[in-house]
Copies of this chain bind each other. A is one copy, B any other.
Amino acid sequence: MATIRDIAKITGYSVTTVSRVINNHPYVTKEKKDHINQVIKEMNYVPNQTARNLSSGKSQNIGVLVPFINQPYYDQMLKGINKAAFENDYRVTLLPTDFDPEIEMGYLEEFSAKGFDGLIVVTRANHLEVFDDYRQYGPIVFCEEADGSHCGAAYPDITGSMMKVLSYFKDKGIKRVGLTLGRDNRLSCNSKTAIALCQEYFPEFTTDDIMWNCHDLTKGKAAAAFFKERGVDAILANGDEIAAIILKEYEGGKAPLIVGRDNLLVGEMLGLPTVDHQLIQCGETAFNLFYEESSEKIKQPFEFIKR
């Protein structure tokens, strides 16, 4: 593989001059420039990106921490992040955590090894404060509420949408609400908020009416059976797919009022109410916060789709 020095030797010019040509810097006569460019083409020379990164201290590459691939919520975020990154000539590296705190810590170490110019944390498995220590290595942006953190955040307004849905439930005369949640982990602020809000709007609500760990579709059927037994008349699901499966299980009988969370086709097809949290836009904003090195917290507006 040819190096810049080879080009210098062959053309008879110095490494600097060749470098100038490569990077379109001024102060090179057209004549030399042409000659060098020609040799570069002939030799099939391409500047080594790693060497450039080392020299510049940057890599035009960000890491995105996300628990899973191929799940609607995360894929939508990823789409937005990726779109903005592409537009700004950045690369996106996937860092799947499976919600494992140790795996996540490993990525933070990689970050401190200057593996990425910045990090976008779609969902975290460690405490918020842990991340502040790593701000020194580059911008970190969350896609969750991150109050008290020094990092930026662009996040869906889950709280707002839940309040909207719950008050809708009240208007509809709902008596007893069931809830599906993704993580039984205390780290999930969304889960905590959800419970608090349910209790606020429905004082009789207890955690007994929660179906935990619904980030797997196989949980859908079990959830339906669970809610049937408990006799809830409305369900706030943590995703359209879970909502769909639950609805299907009620087929024939009288189904409760089920609301999903990510405005997917399956919800539309089944006529399920849902919330569009504008996750793609959210991802775009997250990247932009990284790009502008901003630590602003931006809450993304949502849309309640009643159907």
Contacts and interface: CB of A to CB of B under 8 A. Distances in A.
Contacts of A28: none
Most B Cβ at <10 Å: residue of A61, A92, A96, A269: A269
B79 A70 contact: yes
B266 A48 contact: no
Contact of A94 (B82, B217, B245, B264): B82
A70 B59 contact: no
Interface string A200-243: 00000000000000000100000000000000000000000100
Contacts of A110: 49
B265 A109 contact: no
Nearest to A45: B112
Given A93-B92, A94-B92, A113 B78 contact: no
Interface string A263-282: 01110011000000000100
Nearest to A85: B94
B93 A61 contact: yes
How many monomers of this protein are in the complex?
2
B265 A245 contact: yes
A78 B86 contact: no
Contacts of A61: 93
A21 to B, nearest CB: 16
Contact of A270 (B49, B76, B78, B269): B269
Contacts of A121: none
A49 B114 contact: yes
Interface stretch (A50-58, A145-153, A157-165, A173-181): A50-58
Contact of A75 (B1, B53, B75): B75
Contact of A93 (B48, B91, B113): B91
A46 B112 contact: yes
A146 B244 CA distance: 39
Interface in A112-151: 112-115
A101 interface: no
A180 B189 CA distance: 43
Contacts of A264: 266
A187 interface: no
A222 to B, nearest CB: 16
Given A78-B70, A269-B269, A270-B269, A113 B244 contact: no
Contact of A266 (B92, B95, B265): B265
19 contacts: A1-B114, A49-B115, A50-B50, A50-B53, A50-B59, A50-B114, A51-B54, A61-B93, A68-B79, A69-B78, A70-B75, A70-B76, A70-B78, A70-B79, A244-B265, A244-B266, A265-B266, A269-B269, A269-B270
Interface of A: 1, 46-51, 53-54, 59, 61, 68-70, 75-76, 78-79, 82, 86, 91-96, 109-110, 112-115, 217, 241, 244-245, 248, 264-266, 269-270, 280
